[in-house]
Structure 1
């Protein structure tokens, strides 16, 4: 067996062009992924293929070209912009005598570097262990069965079998811990549902500007950088929207084409915020020439996690990178916002986004006239707290006469809080 390198600072990239759209990948995106992983790209080998080769994924001649390139350029890792089978990966490593990674392993490595929270680290470890479980044979084919002392000799358990058993035990333990984290998230989510608090979740292709927009709207200090998968751990903050009140804004992990299924499964608890959101803000980098393909890729992932039916508002971000494009809102035939053009970096158009959120989340606005007796001061205080009073005066008997402008969500919440009292105070609709 050859010695395995623990780090791959010098990478040779391999990108094959397929006629099948389902197998197509973007070479520029691979370079960004490699850069995000902290690896230096020292060369790229490309070529056309109709179908993957069963032994090397590429043809035998191209495989030899890759091996020669590794020795010539001094690369210590080969990174494929495609998914490799365990056998293909093992054969390529034997031929090139260096570490070979596919697109899935590269994405998992980036996630492992970026995870910060306890939950995020568990999710990444689970995804890595699942990916590794089919590739254990790469490292242990040279070992014989373990033997004990006198009287204990026999075939015993192979090192490979031992590793698989330990791996399975660790996966089971991590799933148990993640189940506890999921229960905690469910408790917080149920509390928001009971309080009828709207949840707005940011989704979009990686590096579209979700965290930058999140920081601008909430005043938070979430890590934001011009790199892929800068955000892994979900962050929730409270914002105030006119005619709606307090809402929860959630920043989530970015999506990418052919996101590994093990990764989607591992982030099930995190992506629950997306599935059960009141509204999705689909952030799109409109300065990217492939933004339409990115929109389709995000929609595929949303469908995979059963969030495809959640209402969406498209945010066309980074208009500052385009000439003569001003912030504006696109409306549908019913006058509802469907797209908002803005720049999260400069803040241009953020007021339009809040206006669109108010329009989509507020529902029908009710204008009511209330006659509140002196003993119901708590109701008057609550109306001031949600900032819905338009005009206020007092009758001769001391009753407080107020005109309010309130959305149906807040009205329903007040009816539950002041059971029977609110309806008694409502004199007439204006």
Structure 2
């Protein structure tokens, strides 16, 4: 009888929390609508400033269509700056470099057949639609319960986070990456692993960094998904090489990636670069003891090695819920990078939604080394930090909190371990 009452009380608490969060979400919807309306009016009068990052994409797409004899021009900074200047776009404050793989430019080159502003509108519309689809699939994967309000809550948490709005505002591509990863994870959970590999392959050839996700899937022996990803990625790369030549692909990996990272890293720290490196660079400068480049590089490299090794260990030895493996892979991918732009935090919504969905799915069961109340409190902070425009280390804190919560899910509650220290070992041995 007592357990039944506790269960009912817990369910009521979950419904109350969901209702309050939905109320907050409704307020943010109103705010977002005002912002979108304001930007729509300003864009109508100044097309070059509209969705400004898409200008870089449009330049690369146009280069593929009009200069296929020399596709390396898409990475020519002087030509890019000249193009942006002629377009009337900002060439003073922005980071003026194009650093996406050749496959990305070739696949989306047809956008350059349209007028610039029309292409922008179509790109943003496509990104928003795909992000909504990705949010729905992610919510269904993260929460297997029957309460539709929880599913609606998870979708709201995703779509109302500022990185999503900011990504659409800039005409960026992180919503596309979010869709590809969320869809791949959803399909793996539905045992459609061959198809999942196709989506993951596009994520890899568009951004490269999702190779971290592929690596963790390999450790988990997801052979069908990994093989499908490899075959599709190679096929896309060979198709690109047949159209643009092998040299452009070789130069991208040997020259352009390093040049782009050096250019972006040198642009400054927080909030533009919310990585651990960016935070150290900013705080050390504020304390009057600026960290040297050698210190920043060593710190970011050591930190990346630690989070990657930890992820490998957890996935191999302590995996209990495959959904947490997806979340851990995504947050590891972000934290291991020396550059974490605020718009990259769109992908951080994947582990956040998985953490929240699995917590609400089994609210009567302690799933983490952290107590449920503390976990929910920290999760609320991580989500709330992403509801606002980035300031100082807000997104760094959100990413680190998310990482700690993901790692804690791989360890049993301390009290349970003290009662039976061999229970976890035995459980893993039997599995």
Shorter-chain TM band? under 0.3
TM-score normalised per structure 1: 0.26
Richer in strand (by share): 1
Larger Rg, first or second structure (1 or 2): 1
Higher relative contact order (CA 8 A, sep 6+): 2
TM-score normalised per structure 2: 0.26
